[in-house]
Amino acid sequence: MRTATLLLLLPLAACASGGAGSTATPASQTVTVVGSQGGASLTMPGNNSSTVRTLAFGMDQVWRALPFVFDSIGIPVGTLDPAKRTIGNSGFKIRSRLKGVPLSRYIDCGNSTQIGPNADAYDVNITMFAELHAADAGGTTVSTTIDVVARPATFAQEYSHCASKGLLETRFFDILKARLERAAR
């Protein structure tokens, strides 16, 4: 009976999210389920999505291009740390579209039979950062991290994590590379 109870509670535990208004994804999350016959814990990985690419451009060149790239994809820069070579935004709130593109193209927050992709109708909070590190032969390693949470705009509900489809990160690197190549001419 204990196994059956735990199996019934696991889907509920998998839907558990952080506290109301949480905007950062934990590296992992542990959910403890306690019943009349004992308890069990389940650890779930976080949803941070990181993309790392090494570019054949100097760190200063890449650093100067990053504000333009963030502006081009529609995410305002909220954090700029030249000492750590980190740039990004830790809580950009948006609904429906990012720079004219439906959010559902970039992120998956599930679907509703009534409204379609939730990403296009929910209140969405995007955290995205880029961090630079020196690479071999004078190149630069760029690491982008994106975390997205969303909740219905019309209901009092906690934020739930959404998954990146990888397209925003691809667009970020495409714009960055094109900007660097133009500047090198």
- DSSP, res 74: T
Give the pLDDT confidence of 25-42 residue by residue, as tens digits: 344 444 455 556 555 444
Cα separation, 73 vs 135, whole angstroms: 25
For residues 24 and 62, the model is more confident at 62
pLDDT of residue 176: 98
Cα separation, 7 vs 55, whole angstroms: 47
Q: What is the mean pLDDT of residues 102-119?
A: 92
Q: Is 104 exposed, middle or buried (0-12, 13-18, 19+ CB in 10 A)?
A: buried
Give the pLDDT confidence of 139-171 residue by residue, as tens digits: 999 999 999 999 998 888 899 999 999 999 999
pLDDT of residue 141: 97
| Backbone phi, psi, residue 121, to 5° | -120, -15
Element (H, E) at 81: strand 79-81
- Identify the CATH class of 49-184: alpha beta
Supply 69's token pair: 């790239």
For the chain, residues classed under CATH 3.30.530.50 are 49-184
pLDDT tops 50 at residue 24 = no
pLDDT tops 90 at residue 103 = yes
Q: What is the mean pLDDT of residues 6-30?
A: 38
